[in-house]
Chains A and B, each alone.
Chain A
Amino acid sequence: MNSKFRIYRGNQQKAEYKDYEIEVQEGMVVLDAVHKIQAELEPDLAVRWNCKAGKCGSCSAEVNGKPVLMCMTRLSSLPEGPVQIGPMKAFPLIKDLVTDVSWNYEQNKKITPFTPSKDTVWKMQQRDVERAQEFRKCIECFLCQDVCHVLRTHKKHDQFFGPRFFVRTASLDMHPLDTVNRTELLKEKGGIGLCNITKCCTEVCPEDINITDNAIIPMKERVADQYYDPIKTFWGKLFKKNVK
């Protein structure tokens, strides 16, 4: 059976969708089709991939306009008609389906790393670590960053960490042995206030991490505790509790 594909070809200077038609077999995923086109028709087609098992987070792309992992998207799950494959829109294009995601690693460096106390007893209860364990599933595919309209449309890369790094911050701030309060970092450098919780990050996460409900909103509530709750602040001052 033959199928049609439209693949984004080019670089930042010049790019367009090109049409291809190849024979596909049952069970093929989008990445298989891209590899077949690369092998049979376009040897210079650029695509980033690694594990083909949904665990390395390399083959992120937009298939029919939806941010997905190409290796986890079966052709049979897509509607009839040409399959449109493009690069992630939130990051600068290098070539064809490959984007420069290095901006993400720069954001990661801004987050204060895990900081236990000097006399830490390395013993934890399951009830205290289970919240952060969910966040450890992240494979850093950056699909959540790609779909987030704060980055994708409004281009706030200089003011906003993005969902991936709110998850990372949450995993540290919810760790029972960590000692650092990252609330100010989230508000000032992370720009968590720019997030209007439309849950697109959660919708596209291939690891089913409940990014919005379990990471971003709890962090927004901590920011509200510290900056936007006058009664809590007054109460803290009255009883000389340091709420910050």
Chain B
Amino acid sequence: MDSIMTNRNDFWWLSPLIIVIAGIIAGGYLTWAAFQGEFFEWGPYLSPVYSSPYVPSWWKLSPAFLLLWIPAGFRITCYYGRKTYYRAVFADPLACGVEEPYRKKYKGESKFPFILQNIHRYFLYFALILLVLHWTELILSVFYNGSLYFGMGTLIILLDTLALSFYVFGCHSLRHIVGGKTRCFSCDGCPKKAKISHGIWKKVSLFNTFHNRWFWISLFSVGVADLYIRLLAMGILGSDPHIIL
């Protein structure tokens, strides 16, 4: 008999299941952390979830929400992110070769609301600004009270900032902007410019190859960095192992 859903007999359901579980854990924790509005800084450290350099006096919500729309929007409209939730959440399709309900009015990303995915490039511009903020906060945390402070938190925030950088630098829209949009790198007659633009495009393409991995690594690294600082601020972790130069 021909199966209604699929004739696949491998573990095709495992990948969407893992993605849903990982998404609930990471998304759930980060949402909870954003709503807390406290225990987000300790000593030299500021949680990456709360990376706004300025909180206006009239702002009544958690300071996390000042900038959290940037990474949220960037990830929701991310080409890899889209693939992930179209499959695991919308079952559109759940896995390759697995049937889904036939919809005569299927419009994909050609009509509202999913046509809005085309604004991904705007979220990229803001994400690049946010990345500068993350690096600035990391450097400021090292220059603490007139000395150089290197703690376990510095290492965790460094790894998180690197993961976020690798994720953003592999963005498909960035790959398009830095060279993908061109038909020909060498055709304007300037070999030096062609070499540089092609070189940048190749580097972004290299990051792009691992975009899916950095999507998940950076999602969890933000949570780990926030959790570490939160545990320090709450006094659950007694101290931050460090050296001062």
> Which residues of A line the B interface, CB within 8 A?
17, 62, 64-67, 79, 81, 84, 86, 125, 127-128, 147, 149-150, 153-156, 173-176, 178, 191, 193-200, 203-204, 212-213, 217-218, 220-225, 227-229, 231
Contact B96 A150 (CB under 8 A): no
Contact A197 B102 (CB under 8 A): no
Q: Mark B109-142, 1 if CB is under 8 A from A, else 0.
A: 1110011001111100000000000000000000
Contact B194 A149 (CB under 8 A): no
A-B contact pairs, 24 of them (CB 8 A): A17-B1, A17-B2, A64-B10, A65-B9, A65-B97, A67-B97, A79-B9, A125-B185, A127-B195, A147-B97, A149-B93, A150-B108, A153-B100, A156-B106, A193-B109, A194-B110, A195-B109, A196-B83, A200-B97, A213-B208, A221-B121, A223-B118, A224-B121, A231-B122
Complex Cα–Cα for A150 and B100 (A)? 11
Knowing A64-B8, A200-B97, the reply to whether A127 touches B109 (Cβ < 8 A) is no
Within 8 Å by CB of A64, from B9, B100, B122, B195, lies: B9
Contact A198 B86 (CB under 8 A): yes
> Which residues of B line the A interface, CB within 8 A?
1-3, 6-10, 79, 82-83, 86-87, 92-93, 96-100, 102-104, 106-111, 114-115, 118-122, 172-173, 175-176, 180-181, 183-187, 194-195, 198, 208-209
Whole-angstrom distance from the CB of A62 to the nearest CB of chain B?
A: 7
Contact B8 A66 (CB under 8 A): yes
Q: In the complex, which of the residues A150, A174, A228 has the most CB atoms of chain B within 10 Å of its own CB atom?
A: A228
Whole-angstrom distance from the CB of A122 to the nearest CB of chain B?
A: 13
Within 8 Å by CB of B96, from A147, A218, A220, lies: A147
Whole-angstrom distance from the CB of B86 to the nearest CB of chain A?
A: 5
Given pairs A153-B93, A197-B109, 13 additional interface contacts (CB within 8 A): A64-B8, A79-B9, A79-B10, A127-B195, A153-B100, A154-B103, A193-B108, A194-B109, A194-B110, A195-B109, A197-B86, A218-B172, A229-B118
Whole-angstrom distance from the CB of B186 to the nearest CB of chain A?
A: 4
Chain B hits for A224, CB < 8 A? 118, 120-121
Chain B hits for A204, CB < 8 A? 96
* Chain A, residue nearest B184 (CB): A176
Knowing A64-B7, A65-B6, the reply to whether A154 touches B102 (Cβ < 8 A) is yes
Chain B hits for A62, CB < 8 A? 7, 97
* Chain A, residue nearest B103 (CB): A154
* Chain B, residue nearest A179 (CB): B183
Contact B10 A218 (CB under 8 A): no
Complex Cα–Cα for A218 and B181 (A)? 7
Whole-angstrom distance from the CB of B106 to the nearest CB of chain A?
A: 4
Complex Cα–Cα for A84 and B2 (A)? 10
Whole-angstrom distance from the CB of B1 to the nearest CB of chain A?
A: 7
Whole-angstrom distance from the CB of B195 to the nearest CB of chain A?
A: 8
